[in-house]
Structure 1
Amino acid sequence: MKTLQLKAGKDKAVKQHHPWVFSGALETIKQTPDQGEIVRLINSKNEFLAYGYFNKLSKIAVRAIEWVEELEVDDQWWKGKIKASIDRRQNLLTSTDTNSFRLIYSEADGLPGLIVDKYADYLVMQVLTVGTEVRKQLIASYLFELLKPTGIYERSDATARSLEGLKASNGLLIGKEPQEFTEITENGLKFVVNIADGQKSGYFLDQRNTRKRVSDYANGLNVLDCFCYAGGFTLNARKAGAKSVTSVDSSALAIDMVRRNHQANGIDYSENELVKGDSNATLRRFQEENRNFDLIILDPPKLAPSRSAVDRALRAYKDLNLQALKILKSGGLLATFSCSGGVELNMLKQAVAWAALDAGKEVQFIEQFGHPEDHPILASFPESEYLKGVMCRIV
């Protein structure tokens, strides 16, 4: 095993079990490891720090994965880490009303760059780092052995792969090809998921608990669900007894999935309530039409892909919430979210406060939302937290 040494004063984060080691923290490498090769990290005093895997093409040169020197990072180590992550989801694996959730959440589960989502009897893998790329068939074989899914499909098409020097990679790894739509169950509701072509790994599993919680407010209300995608908030609101739900998304595939999901659950809907269009433009059109709602849900895509984009994103969040507040009835509720890791909860709340000021409305924050239990936030890796939201009331 090759040993890489950190410069003096650059070992603090590794000692605190943060997994990222940037190339600038390393002393000159005398013998360059292969891509994805396991290396031994030491500090300037030649003391052991951690084992990790190497990438010469990334700014993050080493992803630390093991801090116990006596443990060998071999094939059985990988199997043990995968099994441990699965075991932590036993409450979800035995659930009777939800069969789809995240099994492995990258650094937060000690496996940087590996995301595995369960959709009924299928698993979807996202492989985002070189260290997991060179072992993805091994990882897939262990997942298949442990869970016996119908198939394991790879959806490694995130832009983060390019930062690792990797190209997009999609396709079947083990088992049977998924059909165009796979039916899953979430909170007792049925949803169809397009594993091969849907957004992310096919569906937004991270909002499972929040969809249920927001629906608790929906009984008897006229609801607007913007950026609705497959209709997760929409269907939960209808199940909870909403008077009406208008669902908006710019994707024709998304609107078709909302339609299919109503039908899968035997829930009546009006085609006039399914709006294919830009959510920002639709909010402005509803202002012109003097349409008002009791509950508005804003769950936009990531607006700040990097720290440098945060200021621009906050302006976009502020404008989006402003347009929503303008058509929200007095006493109405606004559930608004950000999935941008660089946008902190207090920043989102500030954007809403600015929007309320410009709208001439007084707003209370009555509830805060975050990750479900299958998307844990590792204490030593705060970057694993990205999803946040608030429920607001106009007073």
Structure 2
Amino acid sequence: MNKEINLSVKEEFVSNYKNGYPLISKESIVDWTKVSQEGTIVKLTDPKNNFIAKGYYGIQNKGYGWVLTAKEDEKIDADYFAKKIKTAVEYREDFYSDEETTAFRVFNGEGDGVGGLTIDYFDGFYMITWYSIGIYELKVAILDALKSSVNYRGIYQKKRFDGKGKYLDDADDFVCGERADAPIIVKENGANFAIYLDDGAMVGVFLDQKDVRKTIRDKYAKGKTVLNTFSYTGAFSIFAALGGAKKTTSVDLAKRSLPKTREQFSVNNIDADKQEIIVEDVFNYFKFAVRKKLLFDMVVLDPPSFARSKKHTFSASKDYVNLLKEAIQITNKGGVIVASTNSANFSMMTFSDFVKRAFKELNGRYKVEQTFSLPKDFRVHNKFQEGNYLKVMFIRKIG
């Protein structure tokens, strides 16, 4: 491991780190010039040079590093990471034993003790995602730890940072073991998903929405017309169709969404020709739907936190109210809007206010029937609630 460097914490941040706050922020450290190489192990000390915690230096959008331990003499090596991974695996024991779900998160960053790192499981294959050069510099120890902690068919990786030189040279997502089929078929609550482990940044499904999809299938879809916006590969549409929806309409701007969504219908033995899959800017589709007086029994809104098309820029924190207003206008009375966001920039309370504002501005009435945050496998650090980014509301339009 790299040489450890002391970093002095500003007085006003000391109590946070003593109480277990895991994110090392840019603002909390007196002098960052003392450390230059990402992946360096850093000791946080108070203004009197007393030890507080130990972590690593790695820049990502959230901050400049993560706390790993409050023990000064604990080594950050393969044994350290193996303990963390084994604890995480034990926490998810019920997922491993569930034959109806063969894809889930095994290690969720700071929620399992190592910020900047996630590990997902896909029917015997493991996918590591590195969120900074800093955590990637610790790759050898983390890989050794994973290989010693689990039985695996193969291991893959995704790099979610802008690296140069040696980081780009390691371009293949495959790491070791056997290569997966393209696609492999995994299960989620009995449904099938076609997953590509070595095909760009995404694999084909977002695992954090599993409880929401199951609820749509089991409680809301039967006999309903369903509009799935920002549909990606159509996962919500698949579960709606499996739940007996009268018809699903999936809308996404990406051209790949059409063949990918058809594929997901196919692996679930659903006739894609009886569904509607549209490659279009969602905001243009809303205007089309209003013009044609189309109404749906359920509208799913799951936009990215930020998105840009030729004519529209969407920011969840600024534009979600207007997005909701668009959806309300094409939802049948008595229908349901599934409003979702993965933005960590605002709370569920603020999200609830967005809903209230949207209905008020349209003189509408509503009832919130259910809310969801991250599922069990997406473990959240109790001192870092910002990590509980997912917010979902099932909203009944009653007038």
The 2-side partners of 1:363 and 1:392 are apart by 7
Q: Which residue of 1 aligns with 2:206?
A: 204
Identify the residue that residue 370 of structure 1 maps to in structure 2.
373
Per-residue Cα deviation, 1:163-192 (whole angstroms, up to 9, x for no partner): 999966552211233333221111101110
Contact 1:42–1:48 (8 Å) recurs in 2 = yes
Matched, 1:67 2:70: yes
The residue number in structure 2 matching 1:22 is 25
The equivalent residue for 2:143 is: 140
Aligned partner of 1:326 among 326, 329, 334: 329
**Secondary structure of 2:12's aligned partner:** coil
Letter of the 2:21 partner, please give it.
H
Paired with 1:30 and 1:357, the residues of 2 have a C-alpha distance of 51
- 1:347-389 CA-to-partner distances (Å, cap 9, x unmatched) read 2222222222333321111211111001122111122111101
Match of 2:216 in 1: 214
1:1-395 paired onto structure 2 within 5 Å:
1-28=4-31, 32=35, 34-55=37-58, 60-156=63-159, 158=160, 161-162=161-162, 171-197=173-199, 200-215=202-217, 216-270=219-273, 273-303=276-306, 313-395=316-398
What do the CA deviations read for 1:82-119 (whole angstroms, capped 9, x no partner)? 21112211110111100001111111111111111112
Distance 1:13 1:191, change over 3 A: same
- 2: distance between equivalents of 1:194 and 1:132? 24
**Residues 88 and 357 of structure 1: is their aligned pair in 2 closer, same or farther, counting only changes over 3 Å?**
same
Deviation per residue, 1:289-342 (Å, 9 max, x gap)? 11111111111112399xxxxx95344211211111111111111111111110
What do the CA deviations read for 1:101-156 (whole angstroms, capped 9, x no partner)? 11111111111111111122221111113332112133223323333322211111
Matches of 1:250 and 1:35 in 2, distance apart? 37
Give, in whole Å, the separation in 2 of the partners of 1:342 and 1:297.
21
The alpha-carbon deviation at position 278 of structure 1 amounts to: 1.6
Contact map agreement 1:137 1:173 (CA 8 A) in 2: no
Gaps of 5+ in 2: 309-313
CA distance in 2, matches of 1:108, 1:357: 37
Give me the CA root mean square deviation.
Answer: 2.8
**Structure 2 length as normaliser, TM-score?**
0.88
Judging changes above 3 Å, is the alpha-carbon distance between structure 1 residues 90 and 59 closer, same or farther for their aligned structure 2 residues? closer
Q: Distance in 1 between the 2:140 and 2:109 partners?
A: 17
Structure 1 residue runs without a partner (length 5+):
306-310
Paired residue type of 1:381:
F
**Contact 1:155 1:170 (C-alpha < 8 Å) held by counterparts:** no
Separation in structure 1 between the aligned mates of residue 54 and residue 146 of structure 2, nearest angstrom:
23
Question: Quick check: 2:204–2:233 contact (8 Å CA) kept in 1?
Answer: no
- Aligned partners of 2:307 and 2:26: how far apart in 1? 24
Q: 1:228 to 1:57 in 2, by over 3 A?
A: closer
Residue type at the aligned position of 2:338: A
Rounded to whole Å, the distance in 1 between the matches of 2:32 and 2:139 is 27
Say which SS state the counterpart of residue 358 (structure 2) adopts.
Answer: helix
Separation in structure 1 between the aligned mates of residue 140 and residue 64 of structure 2, nearest angstrom: 23
**Partner Cα distance (1:164, 1:8) in 2:** 36
Q: Is the 8 A contact 1:7 1:44 kept in 2?
A: yes
Counterpart of 1:42, as a letter, is T
Q: Which amino acid aligns with 2:148?
A: E
TM-superposed CA distance for 1:58, in Å, is 9.1
Q: Identity of paired residues, percent? A: 26
Q: Are the structure 2 counterparts of residues 16 and 278 from structure 1 closer, same or farther at C-alpha, using a change threshold of 3 Å?
A: same
Query: 1:253-294: per-residue Cα shift (whole Å, max 9, x none)?
Result: 222122112211212232661112122211221111111111
CA 205–293 in structure 1, closer or farther in 2 if over 3 Å, else same:
same
Note if contact 2:222-2:244 (Cα within 8 Å) is conserved in structure 1: yes
Asked whether the 8 Å contact 2:59–2:132 carries over to 1, the reply is: no
Q: Are residues 3 and 248 of structure 1, via their aligned partners in 2, closer, same or farther at CA, if it must alter by over 3 Å?
A: same
Task: Supply the distance in 2 between the matched residues of 1:221 and 1:135 (Cα, whole angstroms).
Answer: 49
- Cα pair distance change 1:107/1:284, threshold 3 Å: same
Measure how far apart 1:201 and its partner are. Answer: 4.8
Partner Cα separation in structure 2 for residue 99 and residue 385 of structure 1: 23
- 2:191 maps to amino acid: L
